[in-house]
């Protein structure tokens, strides 16, 4: 009678589990091992077997409730989440954006917690009335371990891990022979969403390449070529932290040495972007993008894609700044400490 109870409990649990056969068998196998051990131990202590079985089953509780708890995890398990997304603390980038469309005025692209905002932003910029937002798209680092994950599940995983809105034009993709269940295998460590999407979409493409763009903070995935008429947007980039000896009133006398130093550094940053970030895309090289600087803030008009690369470029420059300053004999000690702490 009680032996039967034991088996029927496991059977019942199995039936309630909304998981595949292999996962169901694994759970059943593990729980059976536990039950057997718990029963044997009680019997060894002199508890009658029937009572021991009842005690052990009680410890597991209601089969349907337990199955529901397992099934909830199983649902997440489809993504084989081995990695965890780590938000890197880079901050101070991609401030606000003006869309080139018909929208009047400015709009903030992606709002995020203002965790890394420095006091420089808060006081100096606010005083001048510049609206600020932050773009988190490039600031997260992901670890990906997909093993034969459906394409749509891979997208859902990225959306969840990076806390971004994604919209996939499935009809369009399916018309181009792309299957939302097609298996994807990828293993990446410490990559940006940008890099992950580039590879993932290339993996999933059949004949027509799949591309993505970011509009109003939503990641759009489609097979339409997004290069035909690039939607330019203007963003502000705070770079005062890249200028040694920056002071708010530095520009009061444009002829003094500090002002020259400032001009020199802004020129170095601008040149580096022109020469190393998609060179052909800039107005100076016959493209469409443009840069100007206002008091340590770069105003850049570019496509979202190039903006993302600008962010990465500035990130690299921030990392290298201590070394560069060292060569100039400036600020070496203080920055050396910061660098070591990174």
Partner 1 sequence: MTALFDRDLLRGSLDTMVLSILTGRERYGYEIQQELRRASGGRIEIKAGTLYPLLHKLETSGFVAARWDDSTGRDRKWYTITDAGRQRLTVAAREWADYVRCVGGLLGPILGNDTPGAIPEAG
Q: Which stretch binds partner 1 (CB under 8 A): 58-66, 92-100, 174-182, 270-278?
A: 58-66
CB of 136 to partner 1, least distance (A): 21
Applying CB under 8 A, among 17, 27, 158, 168 the residue interacting with partner 1 is 27
Q: Answer yes or no whether residue 69 interacts with partner 1 by CB under 8 A.
A: yes
Tokens 């990641």 locate to 219
Q: What is the Cα–Cα distance from 212 to 318, expressed in whole angstroms? A: 28
Q: Answer yes or no whether residue 65 interacts with partner 1 by CB under 8 A.
A: yes
Applying CB under 8 A, among 8, 76, 185, 253 the residue interacting with partner 1 is 76
Q: Answer yes or no whether residue 11 interacts with partner 1 by CB under 8 A.
A: no
CB of 10 to partner 1, least distance (A): 13
Q: Answer yes or no whether residue 60 interacts with partner 1 by CB under 8 A.
A: yes
Q: Answer yes or no whether residue 214 interacts with partner 1 by CB under 8 A.
A: no
Q: What is the Cα–Cα distance from 319 to 333, expressed in whole angstroms? A: 15
* Full DSSP string of 267-324: HHHHHHHHHHSSGGGBGGGTSSBEEEEETTEEEEEE-HHHHHHHHHHHHHHHHHHHHH
Comparison of 35 and 109: residue with beta carbon closer to partner 1: 35
Comparison of 39 and 232: residue with beta carbon closer to partner 1: 39
Applying CB under 8 A, among 30, 50, 122, 247 the residue interacting with partner 1 is 30
Q: Answer yes or no whether residue 163 interacts with partner 1 by CB under 8 A.
A: no
- Applying CB under 8 A, the site for partner 1 has a residue count of 27
Comparison of 56 and 142: residue with beta carbon closer to partner 1: 56
Q: Answer yes or no whether residue 88 interacts with partner 1 by CB under 8 A.
A: no
Q: At what angle do helices 49-60 and 21-44 cross, to 10 degrees?
A: 140
Phi-psi region of 113 (alpha: psi -120 to 50; beta: other; left: phi over 0): beta
Distances (CA, A) of 74 to 68, 77, 82: 10, 5, 14
Tokens, residue 244 = 């040694």
Comparison of 68 and 284: residue with beta carbon closer to partner 1: 68
Comparison of 70 and 96: residue with beta carbon closer to partner 1: 70
Q: Answer yes or no whether residue 36 interacts with partner 1 by CB under 8 A.
A: yes
Residue 178 DSSP label: -
Comparison of 37 and 319: residue with beta carbon closer to partner 1: 37
Question: 138, 308 in Cβ contact below 8 A?
Answer: yes
Applying CB under 8 A, among 51, 64, 73, 206 the residue interacting with partner 1 is 73
Q: Answer yes or no whether residue 33 interacts with partner 1 by CB under 8 A.
A: yes
Q: Answer yes or no whether residue 12 interacts with partner 1 by CB under 8 A.
A: no
Burial bucket for residue 129 (CB in 10 Å: 0-12, 13-18, 19+): exposed
Applying CB under 8 A, among 9, 16, 70, 157 the residue interacting with partner 1 is 70
Contacts for 236 with CB less than 8 Å, ≥ 6 apart: 95, 96, 130, 132, 297, 298, 299, 300
Rg (CA), the chain: 28
β-bridge pairing 218-222 and 165-168: parallel
């Amino acid at each position: 009678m009680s032996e039967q109870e034991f088996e029927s409990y496991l059977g019942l649990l199995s039936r309630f589990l909304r998981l595949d056969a292999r996962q169901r068998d694994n759970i059943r196998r593990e729980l059976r091992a536990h039950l057997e051990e718990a029963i044997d131990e009680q019997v060894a202590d002199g508890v009658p077997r029937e009572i021991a079985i009842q005690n052990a089953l009680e410890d597991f509780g209601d089969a349907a409730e337990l199955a529901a708890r397992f099934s909830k995890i199983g649902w997440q398990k489809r993504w084989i989440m081995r990695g965890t997304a780590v938000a890197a603390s880079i901050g101070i980038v991609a401030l606000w954006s003006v869309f080139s469309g018909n929208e009047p005025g400015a709009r903030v692209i992606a709002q995020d917690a203002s965790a890394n905002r420095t006091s420089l932003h808060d006081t100096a910029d606010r005083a001048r009335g510049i609206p600020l937002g932050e773009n988190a798209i490039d600031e997260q680092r992901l670890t990906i371990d997909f093993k034969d994950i459906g394409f749509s599940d891979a997208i859902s995983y990225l959306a969840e891990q990076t806390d971004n809105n994604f919209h996939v034009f499935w009809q369009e993709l399916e018309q181009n022979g792309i299957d939302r269940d097609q298996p994807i295998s990828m293993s990446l460590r410490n990559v940006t969403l940008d890099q992950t999407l580039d590879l993932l979409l290339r993996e999933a493409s059949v004949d027509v390449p799949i591309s993505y763009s970011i509009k109003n903070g939503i990641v759009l995935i489609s097979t339409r070529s997004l290069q035909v008429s690039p939607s330019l947007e203007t963003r502000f980039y705070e770079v005062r932290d890249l200028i040694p000896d920056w002071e708010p009133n530095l520009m009061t006398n444009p002829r003094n040495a500090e002002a020259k130093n400032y001009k020199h550094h802004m020129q170095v940053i601008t040149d580096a972007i022109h020469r190393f970030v998609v060179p052909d895309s800039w107005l100076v090289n016959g493209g469409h993008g443009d840069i100007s600087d206002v008091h340590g803030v770069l105003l850049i008009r570019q496509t979202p894609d190039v903006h993302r690369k600008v962010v990465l470029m500035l990130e690299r420059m921030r990392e290298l700044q201590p070394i560069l300053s060292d060569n100039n004999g400036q600020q070496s000690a203080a920055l050396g400490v910061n660098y070591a702490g990174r």
